[in-house]
Structure 1
Amino acid sequence: MSRHHNSAGRGEDAQPDDGAPGSTDRGTISRRQMLNTVGVGLGVMAVGTSGASGQTSGQYPGMDAPDGYRVPAYSEGPRCLYLNDFGGEGDNPQGLIHFLQYVDYLRVEGICSTQPIPSTDEIHKQIDMYEEHYENYRTHSDFPTPDELRDITYSAASSTQSGSTPSGLSETAERIIERAHADEEDPLYVCVGGSMTEVAQALHEDPSIKDSIRVTSVGTWNTDQDPAARDYVYNEHPDLWWVESDSAYAGTWTAEDEAGVDSCGYMEEHVHGVGALGDYWATIEPCCMGQGCWQTGDFYTYAILLHGDPDDPTSPSWGGRWQPTDHGPNYWTDLSGTTIGKWADDYFADFARRLEWGVTVGIQDD
């Protein structure tokens, strides 16, 4: 029997979903164009509306989350592989900094590079920064050692898929197959913020993994860079469990809401300078906005696992809510970016708390 997770205890969706379903045009909208389309962070972005946390509407709470507030609230999280072109636009290294704060909870089966920047250099660079603070992290939770993370770092195919059918098998694709079969009753989430070539290769080599994997991915620019692989997966594997975003992921983009609350200022106050990874965040200039802001749209691909019910993409989660389609029984796509942005108070606060773990000593068990 597949393991099912209960909700992390924050109750029903805190507000109605806003906006019409997002565009599903494939690979035609750049991230800069998307920002202009939806407005920076979807305008008000509905921040601060998750009343269950007891936080004030429209205010980023900083380090003032209630005592005992820990997200996620599961004892251990889902299995996942995180795939991205980590050396690409600023949102990609940002996403990895954020992801590393949750490797105690997520059962990470791999951190994998993809095209168009397949190098693992960025992954190793950040693991080195993580190592600087590992002794503190481990006093707060069961964080893996830096070497354990290095041992599950994998590279991408040398190029994206060129024909209608995948060819070759990268080490990341091999890892997807291996870990899919490692525990066939416990789903493996393949969280893709970059190219789909590795997923296409794995499915082509071993279609039986569809019974064990669940894919979350960002389309738009990534689709434009790797259309053959994306179309192969879409057309040849319509029964694949897959949440694909072409617009709603932009609900994570933030600058300033109508109340004048500046999330760039929030990052400057609560993230910049907090350990080696916080120092690094401050140097990153994401596309579309200023230096050191929050631009990590790819966050949705694994945030769906951090808070909510990852078995049900139509239910509320930090990674948003998603609508079913007539493409297949297990394919969901964009509903509204506000279904992600509405949780900004919560996921900003939890990120800041966890980043702080790297520079503070927690309570150690005897």
Structure 2
Amino acid sequence: MDIMIKKKSHLFLYTSVVLVIFMSFGACAQKNAGSFKPRVINTTDLGADPDDIQSMVRQLVSANEFDIEGLIVATGCWKKTQDNTGMLDEILDAYEEAYPNLAVHAADFPTPEYLKSIAVMGQDGYGMSDVGIGKDSPGSELIIAAADKDDPRPLWVMGWGGMNNIAQAIWKVRETRSPAELKTFLSKLRLYDVLGQDDAGAWIAKNFPEVFYIRATSVYGWQPPKNGDYQRNDIQSHGPLGAVYPDTKYATEGDTPAFMHVYPNGLNDPDQIDQGGWGGRFSFNKKEGIRSMSEVAKINPEAETQYDPYYMYGNTDEGSDAIEKWEDGYNNDFAARMDWSITPKYSDANHHPIAILNGDKTRQVLEMTAAKGSTVTLDAKGSSDPDKDQLNYRWSFYDEPSTYNGEITIENSNSSKPSIKIPNNASGKNIHIILELFDDGKPSLYAYRRMIINVP
């Protein structure tokens, strides 16, 4: 089949606790050092909106794909104070019940004991009012300890609520270390801020412009229908984790794009934010004054304007469409993992296919060079399915991140070995080709690979 796609015109105690946590996890962290697994710390204003609980359930059933190094209870404009980890503890208790089944279906699911050891309180007050001398918390100390680890991978700190836990961590490092040490610390960080929910993000962006800072504002519109059949039948009906997945009140899983951005499914390199993936697509042209949710200005009209100008990475014009284009993949992934949580036998559930691109067995984005006017052949030979399901191939030109602005013809686009015709006017441009490999199991599960073809 041929396709043609057109380009679209308590300080000591806190420190001691954190050190014990990281010493106990040292062996596991070392095992994964340098691997493709992303390092993630989630900060969440649990209790402000049911969607944080929903996102946490999805994060936990996909926890084998990440090195989760912190689960921090946070505040935000919709919940300005916190005093306990009770809601988080209940979710982790449900995970503990589901863990024996999850562990049958994939290696590396973290133990409940480990996750409970990194589930801590963060700042108990709101925004920058809770940053400064004497404001260290178990959450801010955990972030510092994680960034200090001898690990070459970046540390993704996700703000599902406010950003003052990471602000306190940065503030302390600035006050207690040399400028060179501060620079090293900041270089480890990758911040993904959902919507902006306090004034701490603007403070970080203003005072530390070198920090890798995404503020995602297009986090709605990609979700399945609110409280619909998918939510009822594929998620909530499934065991202990389904039981704690609440009905949607405002919007479903608004915080999920944060960890979906770094989900290691072969689709994108999270550091290359303009590639696009399950968490959206972002521009490397920083934007000035991406404002937080309107409630922040209601609390204090000068909350963010006092830091003007400040600059962050923001969504591209596609908005949530950049997420929704992969909806079959991420919806089916969640549904299958909820099946895992209630299925003690491996053969009674579906599992993800393994995509191989030109002999490469990793999930990394690949690049190659091809001359204008030439024909490039890609090959998914060796791709497989652990359940022996039939494999389906779909190769496509991902036009938005490509710098080539024209038409691309892919011959045999539904086979394992397509051919791509490089246009004569593609000199100096790149072309992003995506492989979607999906099985015929139930639900159908996806694996991805990306080849970037550079045309000199």
| TM-score > 0.5 by shorter chain | yes
Residues 1:184 and 1:203: Cα distance change in structure 2 (over 3 Å):
farther
Offset, 1:264: 1.7
The letter for the 1-side match of 2:276 is: P
1:356 to 332, 339, 342: 339
Aligned to 1:271: 235
1:255 aligns with 2:221: no
Residues 1:288 and 1:161: Cα distance change in structure 2 (over 3 Å):
closer
1:211 aligns with 2:187: yes
1:334 to 312, 315, 318: 315
Residues 1:274 and 1:163: Cα distance change in structure 2 (over 3 Å):
closer
The letter for the 2-side match of 1:214 is: R
Instruction: Please give the per-residue CA displacement for 1:148-206, whole angstroms capped at 9, x wherever unaligned.
Output: 11011110112123459644211111111100010352111101111111011111111
Question: In structure 1, the residue corresponding to 2:123 is in which secondary structure?
Answer: coil
Offset, 1:17: 7.4
Aligned to 2:124: 158
Tell me how far apart the structure 2 counterparts of residues 264 and 245 of structure 1 sit (CA, whole Å).
25
2:113 to 144, 147, 165: 147
Residues 1:242 and 1:131: Cα distance change in structure 2 (over 3 Å):
same
Tell me how far apart the structure 2 counterparts of residues 113 and 172 of structure 1 sit (CA, whole Å).
8
Offset, 1:102: 1.5
Question: In structure 1, the residue corresponding to 2:64 is in which secondary structure?
Answer: coil
Tell me how far apart the structure 1 counterparts of residues 93 and 129 of structure 2 sit (CA, whole Å).
38
1:136 aligns with 2:88: no
Offset, 1:346: 0.9
Q: CA RMSD in A?
A: 2.7
Aligned to 1:193: 160
CA contact (8 A) 2:74 2:162 kept: yes
Tell me how far apart the structure 2 counterparts of residues 251 and 267 of structure 1 sit (CA, whole Å).
15
Normalised TM-score (structure 2):
0.56
Normalised TM-score (structure 1):
0.70
Question: In structure 1, the residue corresponding to 2:65 is in which secondary structure?
Answer: coil
CA contact (8 A) 1:82 1:192 kept: yes
Aligned to 1:31: none
Aligned to 2:297: none
Offset, 1:75: 7.0
Question: In structure 2, the residue corresponding to 1:233 is in which secondary structure?
Answer: helix
1:286 to 248, 264, 282: 248
Tell me how far apart the structure 2 counterparts of residues 200 and 324 of structure 1 sit (CA, whole Å).
23
Tell me how far apart the structure 2 counterparts of residues 298 and 145 of structure 1 sit (CA, whole Å).
23
Where structure 2 has 5 or more consecutive residues not aligned to the other structure, the ranges are: 10-33, 175-181, 289-309, 348-456
The letter for the 2-side match of 1:334 is: N
Question: In structure 2, the residue corresponding to 1:80 is in which secondary structure?
Answer: strand
Question: In structure 1, the residue corresponding to 2:161 is in which secondary structure?
Answer: coil
Offset, 1:270: 1.3
Residues 1:213 and 1:346: Cα distance change in structure 2 (over 3 Å):
same
CA contact (8 A) 1:85 1:114 kept: yes
Tell me how far apart the structure 1 counterparts of residues 170 and 244 of structure 2 sit (CA, whole Å).
36
1:242 to 194, 203, 213: 213
Instruction: Please give the per-residue CA displacement for 1:53-109, whole angstroms capped at 9, x wherever unaligned.
Output: xxxxxxxxxxxxxxxxxxxxx975211101111222011100101110121110010
CA contact (8 A) 1:239 1:331 kept: no
Tell me how far apart the structure 2 counterparts of residues 344 and 86 of structure 1 sit (CA, whole Å).
26
Offset, 1:325: 2.7
Instruction: Please give the per-residue CA displacement for 1:246-285, whole angstroms capped at 9, x wherever unaligned.
Output: 2x111334428xxxxxx8212222112111111222xx23
Q: How does 1:1-366 map to 2 (within 5 A)?
A: 76-115=36-75, 116=79, 118=82, 119-141=84-106, 142-163=108-129, 166-167=132-133, 168-207=135-174, 208=182, 209-220=185-196, 222=197, 226-227=198-199, 229-246=200-217, 248-255=218-225, 264-281=228-245, 284-288=246-250, 295-306=252-263, 307=265, 308-326=268-286, 331-335=312-316, 336-363=319-346
Residues 1:235 and 1:341: Cα distance change in structure 2 (over 3 Å):
same
Instruction: Please give the per-residue CA displacement for 1:91-149, whole angstroms capped at 9, x wherever unaligned.
Output: 11001011101211100101111013533111110111111121111111221211111
Question: In structure 2, the residue corresponding to 1:195 is in which secondary structure?
Answer: coil
Sequence identity of aligned pairs in percent? 25
- Equivalences, count: 277
Question: In structure 1, the residue corresponding to 2:330 is in which secondary structure?
Answer: helix
Residues 1:16 and 1:264: Cα distance change in structure 2 (over 3 Å):
farther
Residues 1:163 and 1:155: Cα distance change in structure 2 (over 3 Å):
closer
The letter for the 1-side match of 2:323 is: I
